[in-house]
Every structure is written in C-alpha cells, then in structure tokens.
A and B are shown apart, each in its own frame.
Chain A
Amino acid sequence: MRTLGRRVWLYGVRHLRDEDAANDLAQQVMITTLENLRAGRVREPERLASFALGTSRNLVRDLKKSERRRRDLLDRYGPPDDVSVEPSPPLEVERLDECMERLPQRDRAVVALTFYAERSSGEIAAELTLSEGNVRVVRHRALARLRDCLERPAEASP
C-alpha cells in the first residue's frame, strides 16, 4: 500500500502542482481504496493499481472543481493512518550548484524555463527561437546529465 501511496502522490504532484495537496490526495485515495477492499468491491489484487489511479483521476477532477468537496470527504472518513510520502533528503546544494554550472548555458535556460517558469516546450521554443523537438531533446539531455552528475561521487578537492 505504501508503494501505491507513492504513485498516487506523484500523480497528485503532477496534476495539482502542490505537494501538500498531493499528500491530501494520497490520503483520500488510500482511504477509499481500503474501504472498497474491505467491502469486497475490489476483488482482484492486480486491479488495485487501476482502481487507485481511477480514484485519483476522479478526485483530482473534483478537487479542481470544488475545494469544499475535498473538505467534506476528509470530515466524513476522518484522518487515516499516515500515508504521506516521506520527503527525500534534500539534494546537497553545493553539489547541485556545481552540476548546474556544468550544464551548457542553453540547456540551463531550457530546464529553468520548464521547471521554474513552468513553460511548455512550445512556449520555450518561441522564446528561444528553437523547434519544439529541439527543446524536448535539450531538456531530456540536460536532466539526464544533471541526474548523472548528482549521482556521481563528488570529486575530491585539490
């Protein structure tokens, strides 16, 4: 169930763009999933993930429509066992800065426009006179480089 909670949380972050809201979503989805399991409405274990995803979609749609409905659901089911996702240890800031400095200038701008300014690849392409395809390739490559740089052991200082 913890694994499922992580996935619901990721889905929530992706669609709600807010980690606290994603935590709330994960709680609600897990409550609903457990209730339905106990009531025998989810009979096949392999259907559990699909059930949770379907529930997540419906809830996100409702959340986006009405904040009040979300509070009603929490009042009705009460606080469940904690299914919130533990925050991962923060990435070491100095190491991150080093890794960002190693990215080519244009790649840095593309990832900053994607995650910081929250622009689509179409908007970034128009801004930087690139093709959309080019923006996506630059973004994939930059994130992979950043990932690999952060996972590499830090070089010993001279």
Chain B
Amino acid sequence: MTTCPAGVSWPRLVDYWAGDAGADEAEWLEEHFFACEACTRRLERIRELGAAIVGWARRQMRGGMSPELLEQLRADRVAVREYSLPAGGSVSCTARPDDDVVVLRLAADLSGVRRADVEFRSSIAEVERAEDVPIVGEREVIFAERADFLRPLPAHRTAVRLLAVDEGGERILASYTLNHTPYT
C-alpha cells in the first residue's frame, strides 16, 4: 500500500470512520482522502473490517460482553438466555433448542479493578481462562457463550472464578457455580 504523503495516521482514519473526529478534523480528512489514494485504500479497509465485525457479532459473538451489546443482539432477534449470579451464587442452567446465546451476568465488587479474568473449571474440559474481560460499571462482568456449543454437553458442574489481576499478582473477587444439564 502506498504511503500517505501527508502522514495521516491509521488512528486518525479510524476515529473519522467511527464518527469520533471533530467537525473540523472530519472536514479536513474528507478534503484529504478525496485526493489521497493511500488514505482512500485504508478507509476502504477500515470499512471492510467494520462490516466483517458486524457479521461476526451476529454470527459468532461470544466472550466478554456489555449491556449495550446484549441490547443490540436482541434488537437483531438473536435469542439470548441470561443467568444472573451474585457473588458466591450458583445456578442450574441449560441451553434450549431456540436459544442462540447463553449469558452469565457475574456480580462482584470490581471497584478499582483494572483487569479482570474469568476462569472456568469443569470436570469435562480443560481449564479455560478469559483474560481482560470488559468490566461493566465496576459491578459486574458479562460473559456469553454460543448455545450450539453448550447444547451437546452432558450434565456437569463448572466452578467459575472472577479474578482481579495486576502487577502484584491475582486475587479472587468472587466464585460461582454452574450446574449445567442438557435441555429435555
């Protein structure tokens, strides 16, 4: 890809495309990319990536989530099943045939936590760890899994730990228990 002669950076183009550039900046960038092939190509790439992310979200989104992403999934008629757990809580859970996504809302005191990991330990799989999950309002972590992944699993128990991670190490913020049974 040719280089932009004005040195316009990738972050500036991303901000512009995402609607975060100020009015003057947006005007300047528009005047610029109408005359710059390198920036036109990079904007085309950003647009493609954005469209691909939308497709991925509708088809495959899993992992750390936020309430607004859940809202968007529901607006797109994705069937979301939610389980909310207080710190120390347990729940009997399943994935029904008409579910698309199963969501855990794990409540905990996340004040001052800069990085949170979620660890899953069950009898039927290796330990899985989701690192640096989004923290919602310092009060919960939301984690999603695809229902078509969960549906074929046999009955089992999963111990979930929410961990705060920093330079000094890690500490457990809260633990939860999931008792999964196949839908009947």
Contacts and interface: CB of A to CB of B under 8 A. Distances in A.
Contacts of B34: 4, 7, 11, 49-50, 52-53
A116 B55 CA distance: 8
A78 interface: no
Given A10-B47, A105-B132, A117 B40 contact: no
Given A104-B131, A113-B66, A119-B68, A129 B136 contact: yes
Interface string B38-62: 0010011111111111111111110
Contact of A129 (B10, B132, B138): B138
Interface string A47-87: 00110110001000000000000000000000000000000
A52 to B, nearest CB: 7
A10 B134 contact: no
Contacts of A111: 53
A128 B53 contact: no
Interface residues of A, number: 48
B7 interface: no
B20 A121 contact: yes
Interface size class of B (residues with CB under 8 A): 35 or more
A14 interface: yes
Given A3-B40, A6-B44, A139 B18 contact: yes
Contacts of B66: 109, 113, 127-128
Given A120-B19, A121-B20, A129-B138, A112 B53 contact: yes
A136 B19 CA distance: 11
Contacts of B135: 128-129
B44 A10 contact: yes
Contacts of A120: 18-20
Interface string A109-146: 11111111101110100011100000011011001101
B69 interface: yes
B115 to A, nearest CB: 8
Contacts of B130: 105
Contacts of A3: 37, 40
Interface of B: 10-11, 14-20, 30-31, 33-35, 37, 40, 43-61, 63-69, 71-72, 130-138
- The 3 A-B pairs of least Cβ separation, nearest first, read A105-B64, A116-B57, A115-B50
Given A127-B136, A129-B137, 6 more contacts: A97-B56, A105-B133, A129-B136, A139-B14, A140-B10, A140-B11
